[in-house]
Amino acid sequence: MDSIASWNIRGLNQPLKQKEVRMLLSENRLAVCAILESHVDVTNLAKVCKAVFRNWAWTSNGDVCDRGTRIIIGWNMDVVDLMVLSLEDQVIHTQICPKNGNNPFFSSFVYAKNSYQERRCLWENLCMHKSLCHDKPWVVMGDFNSALHVEGSLYGPSTSSIGMREFHDCVQYTELVDIKGHGLHYTWNQKPKKGIGLLKKIDQVMGNLKFIEMFPEAFVRYHPFRISDHTPCILKMANSVKVKQKPFKFANFLTSKPEFRLFVEQEWTKRVQGVTMFSVTKKLRNLKPFMRKILFKQGNLHEKVLELRKQLDDIQKQIDVNPLDVGLREKEVECLNQFKTASYDEECFFKTKV
C-alpha cells in the first residue's frame, strides 16, 4: 500500500466537495481515506459514498452520531483489508492489513468534539485502546479540535489551556509521537468575512514506536486547504517492506536522562515468578522498549549538536553587538549547557558504535 489520509471536509453533500475528495484519492494513490465532519444523513450515506468512493468499500459511525455522520472511512479492497474494531461518535478504531505482504497495523481515525469537556471521553477511549496496541504498530490521525502545543496557535494564548493539557496528557500516556511532516504547519484556517482570522495546528498524525519501526520512512504531507478550512493529512507509507528490528544496543548516555532511573525503578519493583536469574532477564527484556523510547526522544544526535553549535555562534555574535543585554547572556548560558549535554551524548553514543 502507498498512503492513507484524513480530511475534515466540512460537509460532503456538495458535488464540488465530492469531486475534490475523488481528486485527493487519485492524486495521492490512497488506499484508505477518512472523511471527517461529513454532515451526511445516515439515510443518504450509500448514495454519497457511491459517488465519492465508487467501487471502494466504506463504513461510518453515522449510527452513533446525533446529527449527521461525523466520520466516513473508504478503502480500496484491492490494496488492503480493513476491519473495524470499535467505533464511537469521536473515533473509529480499525486494523489495516496490506495485501503487499506487509504486517497489519492498527489505525484510529479521530474527529474530536469542540468543547474540552466533551473530548474527555475521547481521551479516555484512546488510553483504553492503547492496552490493545501497546506492543503493536498503531497510527492515530484526524482532527483533534485542539492544538497540542502553544506554538500550534497563531495569535493564541501564551500558556496551555485545560484542553491542551488534557490532550497532551493523553498523548503522553498512549506513547504517541508526531510523524515527521511536510507542507503546511497550521492545519486549520478560520476564514472570517473580515480580518486575518485564526490559524491552528489541530489536525495531527501520530504513531507509536512500533509503527515508526515498521515504517521508518513514513511521513505526512499537509496539503493546502482548497475548499475546506482544514488541510488534508496524507500519510505516505513509502511502500515499506518488512523491517527486521535491529539488535538492541544500550547507549551509556541514557543513564544520565531523568526518565532512565524512573523506568528502571518501576520495572524493578514488579514481581516476576521464577528463579532469580529468570526474573532479572525478564525485567531487562521489559526495559528494552523504554530504553528505545528515551533514545528516540533524543532525535538525531549529530544534527542536534550541529544546530546547537550554530545557535551558540549566533547568540555570541549578538552579544558582541549588544554586550549589555542580560537576556542574551541568559540565553547563552542555557544554549551552552544544552550544547555540552548534546556533545556528551553524541560522544557516548559513537563510542557504543565502535
Strand partners, 30: 3
pLDDT above 70: residue 247: no
Q: What is the pLDDT of residue 16?
A: 94
Edge to edge, the sheet with strand 188-189 lists: 153-154, 199-200, 188-189
**Gap between the Cα atoms of 329 and 335, Å rounded:** 10
| 144 or 279, higher pLDDT | 144
Q: Phi and psi at residue 181, in whole multiples of 5°?
A: -125, 160
Helix axes 276-297, 258-268, angle to 10 degrees: 150
**CATH number corresponding to 3-236:** 3.60.10.10
Q: Which long-range contacts (CB under 8 A, 24 or more apart) does 100-103 make?
A: 100/1, 100/239, 101/241, 101/242, 102/1, 102/214, 102/240, 102/241, 102/242, 103/137, 103/214, 103/242
Binning pLDDT at 50, 70 and 90, where does residue 85 land? Answer: very high
Average model confidence (pLDDT) for the chain?
86
User: Model confidence over 99-157: pLDDT tens digits?
Assistant: 987 789 999 999 999 999 999 999 999 999 999 998 899 999 999 999 998 888 876 66
Q: What is the pLDDT of residue 43?
A: 95
Residues 6+ apart with CB under 8 A from 152: 186, 200, 201, 202
Ordered by start, the domain boundaries in the chain are 3-236, 252-297, 301-353
Sign, CA torsion 347/348/353/354: positive
Alpha helices in the chain (DSSP H): 15-27, 45-53, 116-133, 162-174, 209-214, 258-268, 276-297, 301-321, 326-353
Collapsing DSSP to helix, strand or coil, 12 comes out as coil
Query: Average pLDDT for residues 250-255, to the nearest whole number?
Result: 62
Cell, residue 163: 484542553
Binning pLDDT at 50, 70 and 90, where does residue 241 land? Answer: very low
**Gap between the Cα atoms of 288 and 276, Å rounded:** 19
Q: Give the residue carrying C-alpha cell 553587538.
A: 321
**Gap between the Cα atoms of 106 and 175, Å rounded:** 14
Q: Phi and psi at residue 72, in whole multiples of 5°?
A: -120, 135
Cα angle 4, 223, 227 (rounded to 5 degrees) comes to: 105
| 230 or 243, higher pLDDT | 230
| 57 or 351, higher pLDDT | 57
**Gap between the Cα atoms of 318 and 117, Å rounded:** 46
Residues 6+ apart with CB under 8 A from 171: 148, 206
Characterize 57-87 residue by residue with b for buried, 16 or more Cβ atoms within 10 angstroms of its Cβ, and e for exposed: ebbbbbeebeebbbbbbbbbeebbebeeeeb
**Gap between the Cα atoms of 298 and 301, Å rounded:** 7
In this structure, are residues 176 and 140 in contact, taking their beta carbons and an 8 Å threshold? yes
Collapsing DSSP to helix, strand or coil, 318 comes out as helix
Residue 203's closest CA among 137, 69, 109? 109
User: Model confidence over 148-186: pLDDT tens digits?
Assistant: 988 888 766 667 899 999 999 999 999 899 999 999 999
Residues 6+ apart with CB under 8 A from 260: 254, 291, 294
User: Model confidence over 307-326: pLDDT tens digits?
Assistant: 888 888 888 888 888 888 88
Region of poorest pLDDT, from 51-60, 74-83, 259-268: 259-268
